[in-house]
A and B are shown apart, each in its own frame.
Chain A
């Protein structure tokens, strides 16, 4: 007697169906996308297209637009103040990113360690970040006063003569950076501190067994692991520094002369003081291109810095 063994029908556990991207443009779905399309179109796309349209026109408030093609752009690149303001923006942005990143990272490393009153001191450290920029700027303006400001008084106690601070073309941008560093270093500290809190312990234990010192552990373990968080801080700080306006405007209004006139201040003057809407729109378009290029660069760098990259 032969027995026939029937093949056992094996049931595989159910697998989720692979996601297949299907572009279903059936009109019945349009209704669901409509609100988002409406908001994006009204708030982002239309203003941009309109700005682009205005940049091709000579348009002053109160008068009609006159098409001038690329003339506004050509004029901008002949405008010494515009070129100068680009230089100031670059100078300001580099310092306003690099210094808070360095100090914020150092502060995060300090506050990551256990020591008495750590919580209290950390709270005190982050307080500048909570202050309103305009209020901060007004307070610093008083402190910078060459004759009556507290900073020169403190310097006099050390035997150092009065400094001009924001009242000299040579020192105005570094002084504004001082305010930026004071204001935004805590933000970097918080971001990096968050990164440090999530680091695994095992690499450090292995390093200790291998005889690594503190510097080696920082250089080869902490820094690479926390780098993605630093990149996030760099991206946020770069965006903030590029769009810095309130602090600069309140403290110097772009002065002395044009010594601290960044692109934003230049743009504000053209649009809201001289009412040259077309010319100002051309500045916006150029600024937009710069911001997009920089953002792509930073996002690429951030992607590369990820642990699994």
Chain B
């Protein structure tokens, strides 16, 4: 998963600009050809069909629902969609897919949690044949526009692309520039420096923590696994073996413990992302390691006290490697659906270039399409500023899956989450990881049977 996702190098930008200028200069034959192809594509072939869609409740699903009217006007296909809170949506998906006859034709999934489960349970259609079928795929869909990283993340081990990635989340470091400047501290260049910087910035008397991150079990595991990427190691090896009690894993867990126990706020052991966000945006923490998707509320004057003071830093390199933890969502067609082709039209429309650009503009998340990041007008007009986009693009280049691609991801997060919580409470790091590894190993082995 170390492939760079986006490569918006200067050369690529120039190439794009030159192509655009050339197209305009010679009477836009390319545009005309695409327009003719577009006109030839029959969006109306499934007119009158109604499809059901299961979505997770979040800003991206709001955008999908807002685009339904336009989609119906374009295709004549009616959409019946529902947004369900994340945890409940996952349960609903598991139960309905297991029944073999899900009530929905399209479903979104969290790749970092459900990818392997979806493959094992044969939840979705392989989208490769659909993408290759010119009669079903609009010429302007441009699959090659999807970043190599997100596509590789969504692709199953057997090569099947059962979901189309449409959103990626890179873990990075939010930092409070005002607090850093006040103490003359520079943004850390390494993971170890992150701890020394946090120590300098930690000021309990003023109610300021040097660092904040998730301490609540389950939610805290990505923090540790992102630090472990700094050792060039994931929680499982390529062969699927647990690497969670190795010296590298212990190093990452010890750093996690130090950051949270010695420089974290009181009670961080029970913090999920929302408590971290609240603490950081009230100016009570100098650094926060989490997903880049949380930038919107930090820059909202009605919620945040640190508008304009937020720095966006790439996760610093570890002793052996430099990666940004990657998470993401995909959308696919239920294998049990009777309206697969109409469902494919829906997916095309909801993940087209305009939708993905709109997602970036709205601050609803990082889109999977590369073209969204080449829209300089959007970047210049954004409330997030250049540093945000620099961080986003730099993180994309070093992105790597931060959670193991196994079936029992939730149980993995639970077992190791408890161990991490215990560490903040003072338990021995190596002993906790050893205990958790021994407890989880049989669960993992069993999940791969049958």
Binding site for B on A (CB under 8 A): 61-63, 145-148, 162, 164-169, 172, 252-258, 269, 272-275
Interface digits, B205-240 against A, CB 8 Å rule (1 contact, 0 not)? 001000000011110000000000000000000000
Tell me which residues across on chain B come within 8 A of A166, comparing CB atoms.
270
CA distance A147 to B275 in the complex (A): 10
Query: A258 touching B270 by the CB < 8 A rule?
Result: no
Tell me which residues across on chain B come within 8 A of A148, comparing CB atoms.
278-279, 282, 284
In the assembled complex, B32 has its CB within 8 A of some CB on chain A: no
Contact partner, A165, options B267, B271, B425, Cβ 8 Å: B267
Contact partner, A274, options B217, B271, B282, B410, Cβ 8 Å: B410
CA distance A141 to B268 in the complex (A): 14
Query: B267 touching A257 by the CB < 8 A rule?
Result: no
Query: A257 touching B217 by the CB < 8 A rule?
Result: yes
Supply 14 further A-B pairs (C-beta < 8 A) apart from A168-B270, A257-B422, A257-B425. Answer: A147-B265, A148-B278, A167-B266, A167-B268, A167-B271, A172-B270, A252-B270, A255-B216, A255-B270, A256-B269, A257-B217, A257-B418, A274-B410, A274-B414
Interface SS of chain A: loop
In the assembled complex, B97 has its CB within 8 A of some CB on chain A: yes
Q: Given A147-B284, A148-B278, A256-B216, verify A62-B269 contact (CB < 8 Å).
A: no
Contact partner, B270, options A63, A147, A167, A272, Cβ 8 Å: A167
Tell me which residues across on chain B come within 8 A of A272, comparing CB atoms.
91
Tell me which residues across on chain A come within 8 A of B266, comparing CB atoms.
146-147, 162, 164, 167
| Number of inter-chain CB pairs below 8 Å | 81
Tell me which residues across on chain A come within 8 A of B39, comparing CB atoms.
none
| Distance in Å: Cβ of A66 to nearest Cβ of chain B | 9
B97 — nearest CB in chain A belongs to which residue? A62
| Distance in Å: Cβ of B282 to nearest Cβ of chain A | 6
Q: Given A255-B421, A256-B215, A274-B408, verify A146-B267 contact (CB < 8 Å).
A: yes
Interface digits, B174-202 against A, CB 8 Å rule (1 contact, 0 not)? 00000000000000000000000000000
Contact partner, A256, options B98, B117, B270, B414, Cβ 8 Å: B270
Query: B414 touching A269 by the CB < 8 A rule?
Result: yes
Instruction: Give the most central of A62, A63, A145, A274: most B CB within 10 Å.
Output: A62
Interface digits, B5-39 against A, CB 8 Å rule (1 contact, 0 not)? 00000000000000000000000000000000000
Q: Given A164-B267, A167-B266, A168-B267, verify A147-B94 contact (CB < 8 Å).
A: no
Query: A169 touching B269 by the CB < 8 A rule?
Result: yes
Tell me which residues across on chain A come within 8 A of B421, comparing CB atoms.
255-257
| Distance in Å: Cβ of A143 to nearest Cβ of chain B | 13
A63 — nearest CB in chain B belongs to which residue? B450
Q: Which of B257-305 contact A (CB under 8 A)?
A: 265-271, 275, 278-279, 282, 284
A269 — nearest CB in chain B belongs to which residue? B414
Tell me which residues across on chain B come within 8 A of A165, comparing CB atoms.
267
In the assembled complex, B95 has its CB within 8 A of some CB on chain A: yes
Contact partner, B265, options A146, A254, A269, Cβ 8 Å: A146
CA distance A254 to B269 in the complex (A): 12
In the assembled complex, B121 has its CB within 8 A of some CB on chain A: yes
Interface digits, B403-425 against A, CB 8 Å rule (1 contact, 0 not)? 00000101100100010011001
B279 — nearest CB in chain A belongs to which residue? A147
| Distance in Å: Cβ of A259 to nearest Cβ of chain B | 9
Tell me which residues across on chain B come within 8 A of A169, comparing CB atoms.
269, 425
